[in-house]
Chain A
Amino acid sequence: MKQKVLEVKDLAISFKTQYGILHAIRGVSFDLYKGETLAIVGESGSGKSVSAKTILGLLAGNSIYESGEINFDGLDLTQVDEEAMHSIRGSKISMIFQDPMSSLNPIQPVGKQIAEALINKQGMPKAMAKERVIELLTRVGISEPEKRFNQYPHQFSGGMRQRIVIAIALANNAEILICDEPTTALDVTIQGKILELINELKLQRELSIIFITHDLGVVANVADRVAVMYAGKIVEYGNTEEIFYDPKHPYTWALLSSMPNLATSKHLDAISGTPPNMIFPPKGDAFAPRNKYAMKIDFEEQPPMFKVTDTHYAATWLLHPDAPKVQLPEATIRLRENRGKLHYGK
Chain B
Amino acid sequence: MIKYLMKRMGLMFITFIITIFLFFFFIKLMPDNFVPSPGVGNEWYEQLAEKEGWNEPIIVQFGLWIKNIFTEGNFGYSHIMNRDVSEAYFKKIPASIKINIVPYFLSVPLAIIIGVYAAIKKNKWQDTVISVWIMVFISIPFFVVAVLSQYFFYWKWHLAPDYKIATASEFTELGFWYGISTYILPVIVLTVVSIPGMARYVRAELTEQMTLDYMLLARSKGLTQKQAVFGHALRNALVPILPGIFIGIIGILDGGLITEKIFRVDGTGRMYLAAFNGRDYALLMLINAFGQFLTLTSAILADVSYTLFDPRMRVGSGKLS
Contacts and interface: CB of A to CB of B under 8 A. Distances in A.
Interface string B8-28: 000000000000000000000
A210 interface: no
B220 A95 contact: yes
A82 B123 CA distance: 20
B312 A120 contact: no
Contact of B216 (A58, A91, A109, A120): A58
Interface stretch (A36-44, A100-108, A315-323): A100-108
A229 interface: no
Interface stretch (B83-91, B191-199, B228-236, B276-284): B228-236
Interface stretch (B49-57, B62-70, B100-108, B313-321): B313-321
Interface centre among B123, B216, B232 (most CB of A within 10 A): B216
A94 B214 contact: no
Interface centre among A87, A96, A152 (most CB of B within 10 A): A152
A212 to B, nearest CB: 14
Given A61-B123, A86-B224, A106-B236, A152 B218 contact: no
B217 A107 contact: no
A247 interface: no
A86 B317 CA distance: 34
Contacts of A154: 311-312, 315, 317-318
A97 B311 contact: no
Contacts of B231: 116
Interface in B110-125: 122-123
Nearest to A53: B216
B311 A107 contact: yes
A246 interface: no
B318 A168 contact: no
Contact of B222 (A86, A98, A151): A86
Nearest to B209: A105
Secondary structure type dominating chain B contacts: helix
B156 interface: no
Contact of A105 (B123, B232, B310, B320): B232
Contact of B315 (A97, A117, A152, A171): A152
Interface in B218-277: 218-225, 227, 231-232, 235-236, 239
Given A116-B223, A120-B227, A121-B222, A104 B217 contact: yes
A297 B86 CA distance: 92
B221 A94 contact: yes
A120 B321 contact: no
Interface residues of A, number: 37
Given A89-B222, A91-B222, A103 B317 contact: no
Interface string A154-175: 1100000000010011011000
B215 to A, nearest CB: 9
B221 A90 contact: yes
B224 A104 contact: no
A108 B220 contact: no
Given A58-B219, A152-B311, A152-B312, A102 B213 contact: yes
A169 B220 CA distance: 8
Contacts of A165: 217
Contact of A108 (B212, B224, B232, B318): B232
A69 interface: no
A105 B218 contact: yes
A207 B244 CA distance: 48
Interface in B127-181: none
Contacts of B320: 155
B321 A155 contact: yes
A56 interface: yes
A99 interface: yes
Nearest to A86: B224
B220 A58 contact: yes
A171 B221 CA distance: 8
Interface centre among B123, B220, B236 (most CB of A within 10 A): B220
Nearest to B238: A107
A89 B225 CA distance: 12
Contacts of B311: 106-107, 109, 152, 154
A117 B312 contact: no
A104 B321 contact: no
A106 B223 contact: no
Contacts of A152: 311-312, 315
A90 B126 CA distance: 31
A117 B213 contact: no
Interface in B294-321: 309-312, 315, 317-321
Contacts of A102: 212-214
Interface string B189-213: 0000000000000000000000011
Contacts of B217: 95-97, 103-104, 165, 168
Contacts of B221: 89-90, 94, 116-117, 121, 168-169, 171-172
Given A105-B214, A155-B320, 19 more contacts: A56-B219, A56-B220, A61-B123, A86-B222, A94-B221, A95-B220, A99-B213, A104-B217, A105-B236, A106-B236, A107-B311, A108-B232, A120-B223, A120-B227, A155-B315, A155-B318, A155-B321, A168-B221, A169-B221
What are the 9 closest A-B residue pairs judged by CB atoms, nearest first? A90-B222, A95-B220, A102-B213, A103-B213, A117-B221, A90-B221, A103-B217, A152-B311, A105-B214
Interface of A: 53, 56, 58, 61, 82, 86-87, 89-91, 94-99, 102-109, 116-117, 120-121, 151-152, 154-155, 165, 168-169, 171-172
Interface of B: 122-123, 212-214, 216-225, 227, 231-232, 235-236, 239, 309-312, 315, 317-321
5 contacts: A86-B222, A90-B221, A95-B217, A106-B214, A168-B221
